[in-house]
A and B are shown apart, each in its own frame.
Chain A
């Protein structure tokens, strides 16, 4: 265990939660995008979080440290939501099909807002954990005075 271990752990969570916010913002921004580079409407993206410390690097770090691996978080990947596209009746739309329906992205703005709040609250919780750790280390430094 290093003295700044808990700061590293909280920092990993800060970047993971920030990425969640970025992806949610992208989903919200593209809630009406009917055209993408792959063709078809935009598909909702989701961040998969994973406990870090697995695999070879994690095992090596655990073997080198006396107190085991640090348990930060890392982004396992960004996956696309497989839910079906929304069909909206809008015959005047340039992407409407023969029946007048447009395939809209499978993004639900309410879900995205809830995700945004969840990511933001988690971010705050980790900032608080970081501040607590900082206070603790400052207290330890006082021992030298």
Chain B
């Protein structure tokens, strides 16, 4: 049995997905006043969900690709489609999710450590 199972590798991939989403959401806030800018988002949930549903191996899960998608929203009179409130809410939601993922990954690593007798 591998030291790191599919769940652990999935958690790690989800952490990088959340980091990528953080980049996209930060870019949306940065371009809140840019005319013609279309907000972006990264849907790493559905990519990972379909990988797990397809019974992917640990190696396949850790190679799951995440695509950046362009959101369609109401375009303001100044040409930007960024809703600062929505983006801020998404940003804090994503940060909380990231911290949860890291906490769970950490808990699983701690279990491994105590099994190795170093914890």
**Chain A residues touching B, range:** 35 or more
Q: Is B112 an interface residue (CB 8 A)?
A: no
**Interface residues in B, total, Cβ within 8 A:** 35
Contact between B19 and A71 (Cβ–Cβ < 8 Å)? no
The answer to whether A1 and B26 touch (CB under 8 A), given A73-B31, A125-B84, A128-B88, is no
Complex CA gap A140/B100 in Å reads 11
9-residue interface stretch from B1-9, B53-61, B101-109: B101-109
A122 touches which of B24, B33, B103, B105 (Cβ 8 Å) = B33
B10-47 residues at the A interface, CB under 8 angstroms: 15, 18-20, 22-35, 37, 40
By a beta-carbon cutoff of 8 Å, the part of chain A in contact with chain B is 1, 3, 5-6, 9-10, 12-13, 16-17, 20, 48-51, 67-68, 70-73, 118-119, 121-122, 125-126, 128-130, 132-133, 135-136, 139-140, 142-143
